[in-house]
Amino acid sequence: MFTGIIEATARVTRIEPRGGDLRFTIAAENFEIADVALGDSIAVSGCCLTVVERNGDSLAFDVSAETLSVTTLGDLREGDRVNLEKALRLSDRLGGHLVSGHVDGIGTITAIEPDARSQRWTIEAPAALMRYIPVKGSICVDGVSLTVNVVANAAFEVNLVPHTVAHTTFGVRRAGDRVNLEIDMLARYLERLLADREH
């Protein structure tokens, strides 16, 4: 479990084919890894991945063909940056919202507009996900917990404050880029419970 509060960004230094899958190595220069062990879970731009190698300030993750097919990790190239967050501990503050690191779909940034000192982003989401995205609800975009301000047709809007833009990969994102989306897990479980009650 994660909170959607990004701890650092890191640079992808190596992408290796491994029998149909890929192994990603990242240089986590600004990410505290003293307490990271092999087998630990790290959210990498919203995707829960397992640490398979640790060497100095570098971490490596194996990414399956399934994950590559349903997330934007397959879009990454060496030199690209990713958002990082360690798994939640029971003693941690829940600054964002509960995030599983299981991507529900891929969205597309359609507009980035200034809004005072902040930025207003419009993101198009798959139709199957829009029913789970309510105004003032939570959404996880590339691992970042955000509040939905507007829902219209097949898109939603979020506001990004300067700190978020400066300390995540949003600082290098542009209209047309694809992003990982995870809906609020409470909405997903509530729908399942209500569906079971109807049968």
Q: Residues 121, 185: one domain?
A: yes
pTM flag (> 0.85): yes
Report yes or no on 42 lying in a domain. yes
Which residues, 6+ apart, have CB-to-CB distance to 101 below 8 Å?
Answer: 1, 2, 41, 43, 46, 47, 48, 49, 143, 182
Domain of residue 74 covers 8-86
Q: CB–CB of 171/83 below 8 Å? A: no
Report yes or no on 145 lying in a domain. yes
> In whole angstroms, what is the distance from residue 170 CA to residue 91 CA?
28
**DSSP 3-state assignment of 171?**
helix
Mean pLDDT (whole number) for 10-31: 95
- Could you tell me the CATH number of the domain that includes residue 139? 2.40.30.20
Q: Residues 112, 65: one domain?
A: no
Q: State which of 86, 115, 134 marks the end of a domain.
A: 86
Identify the residue whose tokens are 């898109």: 155
Q: Residues 192, 117: one domain?
A: yes
> Tens digits of per-residue pLDDT, 23-62?
999 998 889 999 999 999 999 999 999 999 999 999 999 9
Report yes or no on 92 lying in a domain. no
Mean pLDDT (whole number) for 83-105: 85
Which residues, 6+ apart, have CB-to-CB distance to 91 below 8 Å?
Answer: none
Number of domains in the chain: 2
Angle at CA of residue 87, ends 67 and 129, nearest 5°: 45
